[in-house]
Amino acid sequence: MRRSEEGDQPEIVEIDFTVGHRSIGRDVVTSQGYTHDWVCYLKSTDVHGDLNALIQRCIFHLHPEFQNNKREIRTSPFAIQETGYGGFSMPIDIYFKTKKDPKKFRIEYDLDLHDLTNGGLKKRSYLRTYRCTFTNPDPDFKQKILAAGG
């Protein structure tokens, strides 16, 4: 959290989210051609952060080829698990428990599944950090941000 020394400066409160995924190559390709099992998740960068205090819901927007490609998660763990054959760009919308903007934060996440040909790795994990900034949050929401690891 950053706070100005002067009273007329805006108060800035920030929180970092970690978004990651793990994928593993399947030993047997499914009849649909799926080569990987994967899980994608969102968590607080602070290991003690409670995202349930801050996040109302999280929506993972999967590739249109997926059945039920808009997955809404309302409590932690904010994660989805699937089987597929290729990577894609996956927008993730985070809706906060506040009445003041920003009420939503969008992450553009690259779900990159590794290539199993030519001796590719069988398992792979990725982590990326995203920062969300709030200017002059109301006191109640500020406490939620801090409880979540802000």
Give the per-residue pLDDT at 81: 95
Q: Is the pLDDT reported for residue 115 higher than 80?
A: no
Split at pLDDT 50, 70, 90, the class of 117 is: low
Residue pair 147/43 in contact by the 8 Å Cβ criterion: no
Q: Is the pLDDT reported for residue 141 higher than 60?
A: yes
Spacing of C-alpha 20 from chain mean position: 7
Give CA–CA dist 13/3, Å, rounded: 8
pTM reported for the whole predicted model: 0.84
Average pLDDT, the chain: 86
123 or 32, greater pLDDT = 32
Domains of the chain by residue range: 18-128
Angle, vertex CA 41, rays to CA 36 and CA 43, nearest 5: 160
Q: How is residue 108 written in tokens? A: 């553009």
Considering the chain, what percentage of its residues have pLDDT values greater than 90?
A: 43
Residue pair 135/32 in contact by the 8 Å Cβ criterion: no
Give the pLDDT confidence of 78-111 residue by residue, as tens digits: 999 999 888 889 999 999 998 877 789 999 999 9
Residue with tokens 């309302």: 74
Mean pLDDT of 60-73: 93
Q: Is the pLDDT reported for residue 35 higher than 70?
A: yes
Residue pair 14/1 in contact by the 8 Å Cβ criterion: yes
What CATH number does domain 18-128 carry, 3.40.50.2000, 3.40.50.11860, 2.60.120.650, 2.60.40.1970?
Answer: 2.60.40.1970
Q: How is residue 142 written in tokens? A: 């500020």
